[in-house]
A = this chain, B = another copy of it.
């Protein structure tokens, strides 16, 4: 790569000092009109652009936001990034994305790299490994240093920082109510293991709705799936129950879609024999047959909110109180629950 042109090179070219060049390029009236014009023309010709690193070092500001997420090949997370990117760009920030791959170790590594001065703040959705290990030292360290930090979706209550979350309880509750409304009696929940905060909250909403409707909560209607094993095998068990449920609420789109495919293989009629709905309106839900009802999550909005909170925190250093924004959900009713 050819070395880029710098102030120094322009300065020696004209036999003037670096500061003169700097001022000339900024159109300062301190510099004579003629020289100023010549320098500007020269710099323009050689496509001079100030070196960002130098500026960042001088201004003690990178205008970069770091984002650490568990996965990137994931409709919800990529939607959130999209929202972050959009808002950040509007405010003159760039985005650096790191993937933790659900691993605690990788997450800590990402934190170390990003907080070495490369970014002005961090937006994080914690890895499953972190939730499992309950080791939050890397997060606590940031909070202690008052490093701008926003958590979203997979948050940790013990850590005090700005947070953006989905109304998981409300969403699951509304969804369950919907299933009750269409006359379903035995509603199963396809959830994650309990240490995943989001799964736990959605279970809470599910239970709340059952309770309000006077249904009793049956533990064997709650299936906790392990993502590291074969999903279909685990879901199939639900259908083998002699007293099979007549509705399924899944905590994400993939669980729901898998359940739907299995139901069809078994020759069941959806939603008559069994109604199914999921969380997140990704692309899958639209194209299954019948299309899946779901709880829409508004990831883009969530990303925008997270970026807004972070940039606010970065720019107004006054230690305002930590905010906790809840993004409400809404039901997208499609044919999989439309009787």
Chain A interface residues (CB < 8 Å from chain B) = 1-2, 4, 47, 49-54, 56-57, 62, 64, 72-75, 78-79, 81-82, 85, 94-99, 112-118, 141, 145-148, 254, 257-258, 260-261, 264, 282-284, 286-289, 317
A74-B78, A257-B286 given; 6 more Cβ-contact pairs under 8 Å: A1-B317, A51-B57, A53-B62, A96-B97, A257-B283, A264-B289
Contact among B95, B99, B261, B283 with A283 in the assembled complex (CB-CB below 8 Å): B283
CA distance A313 to B213 in the complex (A): 64
A73 touches B82 (CB 8 A): yes
> With a CB–CB cut-off of 8 A, which chain B residues contact A98?
85, 94-95
* Chain A interface mostly: mixed
User: Within 8 Å CB of A146, what residues of B?
Assistant: 1-2
CB atoms of B62 and A72 under 8 A apart: no
A57 lies within 8 A of B53 (CB): yes
Q: Is the CB of B95 within 8 A of A53?
A: no
**Set B52, B118, B257: member contacting A94, Cβ < 8 A:** B118
Check if A145 sits within 8 Å of B1, measured CB to CB: yes
* B96→A64 contact, CB < 8 A: yes
Q: List residues of chain B with CB within 8 A of the CB of A74.
A: 78
Q: Which residues of chain B are within 8 angstroms of A85 by Cβ–Cβ distance?
A: 72, 97-99
CA of A146 to CA of B95 in the docked complex: distance in angstroms? 25
**A131 to B52 alpha-carbon distance, docked (Å):** 29
Does B97 contact A1, Cβ atoms closer than 8 Å? Answer: no
CB distance A116 to B287 under 8 Å? no
Tell me whether A53 and B141 are in contact (CB under 8 A): no
A99 nearest in chain B by CB position: B85
Shortest 4 CB-CB contacts between residues of A and residues of B: A52-B116, A289-B289, A257-B287, A51-B117
The one of B50, B94, B287 in contact with A288, judged by C-beta atoms closer than 8 angstroms, is B287
Pair B254/A283 contact, Cβ less than 8 Å = yes
A75 partner residues in chain B, CB cutoff 8 A: 73, 283
Contact between chains at A82 and B72 (CB < 8 Å): yes
Say whether A81 contacts B53, CB under 8 Å: no
A338, chain B: closest CB distance, angstroms: 15
List 9 A-B residue pairs with CB atoms under 8 Å apart, sorted by A's residue number: A4-B117, A49-B117, A51-B116, A51-B117, A53-B62, A81-B97, A257-B286, A261-B289, A289-B289
Q: Which residue of B lies closest to A291 (CB)?
A: B261
Name A73's contact: one of B78, B118, B147, B261 (CB within 8 Å): B78
Distance of A162 Cα from B13 Cα, bound (Å): 34
Contact A145–B2 (Cβ < 8 Å) = yes
Contact A99 B82 (CB under 8 A): yes
